Structure 1
Amino acid sequence: MQGWLKGLAAAIAVGIFLALTGAFNSGQESLTWRLAYWPLMMGAGAAVGGVIAHLFTTWSALDERPILRGVLMSIAIALPLTGLIWVLTNLFVGGAWRVGDLSHLVAPVYIISAAMTALGHVMDRPRQTHGSPNQQPSVRFLDRLPPKLRGADVQAVQSEDHYLRIHTNRGSDMILMRMSDAVAELEGLEGAQVHRSWWVARNAVREVKRGDGRATLTLEGGLEVPVSRRYARALRADGWW
């Protein structure tokens, strides 16, 4: 949610910039008009795009098909955005509401959607956590361990629906928590989110198996964790294997 709000705020900020500069021949309109039109346009576009992008990133069937995910996501974002831009523009300029005008918007909106999707893919790196220089790091997530696992070494965290399964050197147990929140609280332990459903402690990795374009991490105790293709290149560059 926090990342979505940051994206929305950034889009509105860009909208204010476009309004102040009179972008795309809008300088002929008053500043008040531009300050109403552009932030609303950019904010609404970011909201629609953010919701659709979230749906696609949680579609596990596309985890190993990043190009297909990008193409489908761009189309899914461009279609409603085209209609949204057509409606807002006609409302603001008192247009004739010609449906034929939609055909002139489809191509540029899709190109922008595809460019933003590609940029998001390039910037999409695994969320990593870092060890503390202190010998006894303060890791908030450890306070959430069930009593039987207190003091154990966390090896991996696995998402199962709305719950998380915590794998340790003393066994495993489940808690109710979101993966995104868990990764934030795991700061202080060296590790990374290697898959949509997995965070792994770096010192728990004992072997890396590779084949068919995929990687699998074998942890202490024999637990095997899949590595998503979308994260594999960044993890390899960071020396995980």
Structure 2
Amino acid sequence: MTTPPTSPRESLAHTLATFADEPDTGMAVVATRNVPVPGAVTGLTWGDLRALAAEAGTAAASTALSHEYLAEIAARAEAATAGPWGFYDGDNYADVAADLKMTGRGSYSCRQQVARLEDESYWEDPAHEDDEEPASEQMAADAAFIAHARTDVPALLAEVERLRAALSSAADAIAEQDDEIADWSAKNAALRAELADRPTRAEVLRQAAPEMDAIAYEYGVFGVGSRLRQLADAAEAGESR
């Protein structure tokens, strides 16, 4: 990808291609954990996103760089003639060869010839019938592309694997953080439930008022219960005393 996605459809296709190895049952987006019951997880699985992509007509994008496809590319690269490859640009042809070395003007040596491009086949291609560019220039460009592919393809495969490993590591780290957040959320919910079961300050003061009033009365002190009830009213009203 050379530019960021510019639409929801492109973003979905890009996401599915990036995480092509994720199983359908894996969670792609977690909405809630332990709700409505402990252990419950809600959200969207990778299978859900792939189904949505198929409905949106982007199923092909989700498998464009699947693990199987990359393995096929790697197998083709491994089976090809060992490199490095070079190319020779002749007058009406271009050669691609392994360990190509120029030995003089218009001559070269090599370990093995890989391919030869000829200008005759170039002009037979309908796609070039209106070309003003000389056939030799196109052949040289094609030969250079083929020759460099011997090293470019393995390098690109290695970079894809490196990036996917980095993405997988980041996804694992995010999953760990999600689990930690879920754990703290559960603890927070438990504490809130415990606090909700406890009597409020106003309730404690009102419950204590009669007993404290009786004790104070024995010592000739009056109005303790009334004061506690006033404090309870203030606490209930949110006033500080």
TM-score by length of 1: 0.23
Q: Which has the larger radius of gyration?
A: 2
TM-score by length of 2: 0.23
Higher strand share: 1
| Structure with greater contact order relative to length (CA < 8 Å, sep ≥ 6) | 1
